[in-house]
Amino acid sequence: MKNLFITITAALLAALCGQAIAATKVGYIYVGPRNDFGYNYAQDQGRIYLEENLPGVATVSFENIPENADVERVMERMIRSGVTVLFPTSYGYLDNALKVASKYPEVTFMHSGGFKLAPNLGTYFAGIDEAMYLAGVTAGAASKTGKLGFLAAHPIPQVLRNINAFTRGAQRVNPAITTTVVWTGTWSDPAKESEAANSLIDSGADVITGHVDSPITYTRVAEKRGVFSVGYHADASKFAPEGWLVGAIWNWGPMMVNIVKSVEDGSWISGHIRGGLKTGDSILSAYGPSVSSETQDQVAALQAEILTGAFNIWQGPILAQDGSEKAATGAVLSGTGLEGMDFLVQGVVGQVK
């Protein structure tokens, strides 16, 4: 009996060790801090969701890694530690990830928002522009001055797309409304963001939003100055309990679970995975206390139309700042027209830099 017990225990230990060895180890790399309540926070919430909802998965993550050769060294270190699926989450990591991917064909790389592929590197993202359009409707209804402010990091297509969607949503409520853009030139610089937010408020903007890594700075400035804020990336309402209107936020967890499952079952292939409002990968946060029930009802009705396909936020007419037609009446911007957006719509004050 004693020998039988030892045999069974040894077999159990071997099985448990085998499970540990077979576990999928997934790595995440963030360009900023995971607690920024913005871009990096949203990605990290996806990591947590993955670990909690996919048995047999272990995750490891590194934060504050710059978009240069440093990230290559971090990726290689993670691979040597047993990581077989890598999420380099920052836009500027793509070329570095491609270099490392070419050296480790057995590792699967999923980059956030890029346009280049490799046999073992794909991309994932979600169109959050529909949520930003709805947030723009909310902002347009709240604004008394008819002036909105937008902090923008870099004029890449994703940022331009959000500025334009936000502005078009606000113009649905007030066709004369304007959005003034201030370019910070960096994904994260609280000093620049504070200066930009204050300058926008000084010029008359009474709703502030942005596309930088973290909404904390501009929501805090807006709250202190007594104006409204619209969040981006994640729910930062606790930093503006009075002035928060709503936020366009990511919900990466379910998509990440599906990606890792596909790697595990062998069905993963390189490609561009894109979600959106319809798939639940981008959503609206809860509303702040000043958003009227009428506005909430209006946004809910529009969201229902978007989800059923009855309304497309990129249906023309769409005019660029210089008056050139980007989409004729009834035509819809889609595909490369959205992924490669390089213009700002009429009603936006400021130029593409």
- Domain ranges for the chain: 2-126+252-276, 129-250+281-349
Q: How far apart are CA 128 and CA 98, in angstroms?
A: 25
Neighbours of 77 (CB within 10 A): 13
How many helices (H) and strands (E) in the chain? 11, 15
3: number of Cβ within 10 Å: 7
Q: Residue 283 corresponds to which amino acid?
A: I
> Is 70 exceeded by the pLDDT of residue 256?
yes
Res 300: pLDDT: 98
- Ranking 14-28, 31-45, 78-92, 323-337 by mean pLDDT, the lowest is 14-28
Q: What is the CATH number of domain 2-126+252-276?
A: 3.40.50.2300
Q: To which residue do tokens 């530690």 refer?
A: 81
Spatial CA neighbour of 221 closest among 238, 246, 240, 245: 240
How distant is the alpha carbon of residue 80 from its chain centre? 29
Which pLDDT band holds residue 22 (cuts at 50, 70, 90)? low
Look at residue 8 and tell me whether its pLDDT is greater than 80.
Answer: no
Class of domain 129-250+281-349: alpha beta
Confidence tier at 108 by pLDDT (50, 70, 90): very high
Same fold, 2-126+252-276 and 129-250+281-349: yes
3-class secondary-structure state, position 111? strand
Alpha helices in the chain (DSSP H): 2-22, 39-53, 69-80, 94-103, 129-142, 157-173, 190-202, 216-225, 253-265, 293-308, 336-339
Burial of 204: CB neighbours in 10 Å, binned 0-12, 13-18, 19+: middle
